[in-house]
Amino acid sequence: RGANVFAEPAAAAGYAALARAAREGLVRSGETAAVLVTGNGLKDPAAALKAAGRPLRIAPHMPALRALVKKGALRLDA
CA 18, CA 33: separation in Å to the nearest integer?
8
Q: What pLDDT score was predicted for residue 1?
A: 56
Beta bridge partners of 7: 40
Q: How many CB atoms lie within 10 A of CB 71?
A: 8
Q: What pLDDT score was predicted for residue 18?
A: 92
Annotated domain spans of the chain: 9-71
Q: What is the pTM (predicted TM-score) of this model?
A: 0.52
Check residue 69 and report its DSSP letter: H
Beta bridge partners of 40: 7
H or E element, residue 9: helix 9-23
Q: What is the pLDDT along the chain (78 residues), one digit of tens a residue?
A: 566 778 888 888 888 999 999 999 999 988 999 888 888 888 888 887 887 778 788 899 999 988 888 887 776 664
